[in-house]
């Protein structure tokens, strides 16, 4: 009886084990349940970079060959921002890292540079920044907290910044993490200077803009302390909102314009003897210049020893020429209100000589005329040097192409076309009919053509900027965005279509025909079936 019972139990155990083995199946790989949402793609040279936040992955579509190559590379956890690196064939991906949870280890915030070939470099930032700003040659990038966004952490310091030298590998001292001195505000933006000589040494400065002060950081000497300059008196609680910085690289001076101030702020960087190894060898002095009512734009002109500022102030409907050496101001009344300054070298209808001139215009939808200003002898001739050109329609957008001697203006839709092409030399304006706004227009890298696509249309339009001949091509689906890419001798334009799996059409920029166009579908699913094995 005992033997029988024992045998029965053994067989039952075997049967149960077999049943469990047969019916058991592995849990589904969690990666197949993550969102496919992507950040807006950017170009990196001749490649297109898509970032999928849930997968912490960048998909690089290399368009250098007729058959695109698709590569996938890992980026830091929780990527929130991707942007092309200035003057380089790379994309920069800012990741906020992972807070950590049950079974998930914390990961620090990081910055990843992704090349067109799919190679990556990564710098650990530490704090979960959400904004990036690059300098003019793409060497330095500053990560900081955008004031409008939440950090997604229990505690964070909104005045913390990290400066990364992208030409150097991650190491001690790169990135430099700092907390900028605060007078109660937080950074609103960052501006980088071009290389300028300060205290006898060429260097790049980062200017952190806050509500009523600016902070200067010497990127060539990141170990040195920052310099904070208050733009208002301590008892003045106004947030004047610094918005624009113009650098005079020859005279170690910077000019600041603030949205809520009628003054310009002049910071001259004077050489001093540093008191310690972490002290700076320059010190700014602050001066204020009256600039009309609500100055909206400024530009520097003139030689190093005769530098002048041209400022437009729509509130007082004038332009002002400020001699920065003599500290004198010349007011130039305007017939048409202006909020933007464009300096250009070119002829005029009365002079074939190419020289520096200015175009003053407004894109605020209030002015239907523009002003040409002859800068030579402007202080003595004043309004005699101003010529007003009526366009007949108010301007709400502008794309300047001074190297081609034209500016393209956008107007509210009208029967006479919604674009104007202003010839800077002849001072004539030709209407161009357009179904799209200029804000969606994209230039080629070499500015050979301007590409536009209506948000729901299947047609991609372009204007060849060598002869201003327009054209269009019909694609197979509505276009959500246009991204020109370049590299080598090829000139291609990529039209993006709405598809979760990824859909682009690559158009040959030199031969815009359907015969020369190709689509690529499903590239965001590349190696989908191998993902589980990779875990």
Kindly list the residues in this chain that would bind other proteins in the complex (CB under 8 A).
Answer: 22, 25-26, 28-29, 32-36, 54, 67-68, 70, 475-478, 497-501, 503, 505, 514, 517-523, 525-533, 535
If the CB atoms of residues 39 and 240 are measured against other proteins, the closer one turns out to be: 39
CB 23 to other proteins: min, Å: 8
If the CB atoms of residues 459 and 518 are measured against other proteins, the closer one turns out to be: 518
Q: How far from the centroid of its chain's Cα atoms is residue 18's Cα?
A: 62
> How far apart, in Å, do the first and last CA atoms of the chain sit?
52
- DSSP letter string over 297-323? EEEEES-TTS-EEEEEETTTTEEEEEE
Residue written as token pair 């949402």: 37
SS3 527: coil
CB 82 to other proteins: min, Å: 20
If the CB atoms of residues 28 and 350 are measured against other proteins, the closer one turns out to be: 28
Tokens of 225: 């302390």
Tokens of 25: 């199946």
Task: Report the helix count and the strand count for the chain, using DSSP H and E.
Answer: 3, 42
CB 495 to other proteins: min, Å: 10
On the question of a cis peptide bond just before residue 175, with omega within 30 degrees of 0, the verdict is yes
CB 48 to other proteins: min, Å: 14
If the CB atoms of residues 6 and 514 are measured against other proteins, the closer one turns out to be: 514
If the CB atoms of residues 398 and 504 are measured against other proteins, the closer one turns out to be: 504
CB 83 to other proteins: min, Å: 25
If the CB atoms of residues 326 and 527 are measured against other proteins, the closer one turns out to be: 527
CB 72 to other proteins: min, Å: 11
Q: How far from the centroid of its chain's Cα atoms is residue 385's Cα?
A: 35
CB 500 to other proteins: min, Å: 4
If the CB atoms of residues 371 and 517 are measured against other proteins, the closer one turns out to be: 517
Q: Which residues contact 25 (CB under 8 A, 6 or more apart)?
A: none
Contact between residue 431 and residue 415 where contact means Cβ atoms under 8 Å apart:
no
Rounded to 10 degrees, the C-alpha dihedral 189/194/196/202 comes to: 110
Question: In sequence order, which ranges of 339-477 are alpha helices (DSSP H)?
Answer: 378-381
């Amino acid at each position: 009886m005992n033997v029988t019972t024992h045998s029965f139990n053994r067989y039952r155990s075997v049967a149960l084990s077999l049943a469990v083995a047969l019916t058991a199946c592995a849990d589904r790989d969690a990666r197949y349940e993550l969102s496919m949402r992507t950040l807006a793609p950017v170009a990196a040279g001749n490649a297109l970079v898509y970032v999928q936040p849930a997968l912490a992955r960048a998909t690089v579509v290399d368009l250098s060959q007729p058959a695109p190559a698709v590569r996938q590379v890992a980026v830091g956890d929780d990527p929130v921002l991707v942007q092309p690196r200035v003057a380089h064939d790379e994309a920069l991906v800012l990741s906020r890292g992972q807070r950590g949870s049950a079974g998930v280890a914390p990961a620090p915030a990081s910055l990843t540079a992704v090349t067109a070939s799919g190679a990556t470099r990564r710098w650990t930032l530490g704090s979960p920044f959400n904004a990036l700003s690059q300098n003019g040659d793409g060497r330095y990038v500053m990560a900081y907290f955008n004031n409008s966004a939440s950090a997604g952490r229990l505690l964070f310091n909104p005045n913390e910044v990290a400066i990364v030298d992208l030409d150097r590998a991650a190491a001690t001292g790169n990135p430099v993490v700092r907390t900028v001195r605060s007078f109660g505000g937080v950074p609103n933006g960052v501006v980088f200077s071009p290389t300028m000589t300060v205290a006898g040494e060429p260097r790049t400065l980062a200017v952190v803009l806050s509500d009523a002060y600016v902070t200067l950081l010497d990127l060539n000497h990141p170990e040195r302390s920052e310099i904070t300059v208050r733009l208002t008196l301590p008892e003045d609680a106004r947030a004047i909102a610094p918005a624009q910085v113009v650098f005079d690289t020859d005279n170690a001076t910077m000019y600041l314009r603030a949205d809520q101030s009628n003054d310009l702020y002049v910071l001259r960087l004077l050489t001093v003897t540093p008191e310690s190894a972490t002290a700076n060898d320059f010190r700014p002095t602050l001066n204020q210049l009256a600039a009309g009512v609500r100055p909206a734009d400024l530009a520097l002109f003139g030689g190093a020893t005769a530098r002048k500022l041209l400022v437009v102030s729509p509130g007082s409907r004038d332009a002002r020429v400020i001699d920065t050496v003599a500290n004198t101001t010349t007011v130039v009344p305007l017939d048409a209100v202006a909020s933007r300054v464009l300096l250009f070298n070119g002829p005029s209808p009365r002079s074939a000589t190419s020289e520096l001139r200015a175009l003053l215009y407004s894109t605020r939808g209030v002015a239907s005329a523009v002003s040409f200003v002859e800068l030579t002898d402007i202080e003595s001739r004043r309004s005699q040097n101003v010529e007003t050109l009526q366009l007949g329609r108010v301007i709400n957008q502008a794309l300047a192409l001074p190297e081609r001697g034209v500016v393209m203006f956008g107007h509210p839709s009208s029967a006479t076309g919604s674009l104007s092409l202003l010839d800077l030399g002849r001072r004539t304006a030709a209407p161009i009919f357009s179904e799209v706004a200029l804000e969606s227009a994209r230039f080629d890298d070499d500015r050979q053509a301007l590409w536009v696509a209506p948000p729901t249309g299947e047609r991609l339009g372009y204007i060849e900027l060598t002869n201003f001949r327009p054209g269009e091509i019909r694609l197979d689906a509505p276009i959500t965005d246009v991204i020109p890419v370049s590299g080598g001798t090829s000139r291609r334009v990529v039209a993006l279509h709405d598809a979760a799996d990824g859909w682009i059409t690559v158009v040959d920029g030199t031969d815009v025909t359907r015969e020369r166009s190709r689509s690529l579908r499903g590239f965001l699913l590349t190696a989908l079936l191998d993902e589980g094995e990779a875990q």
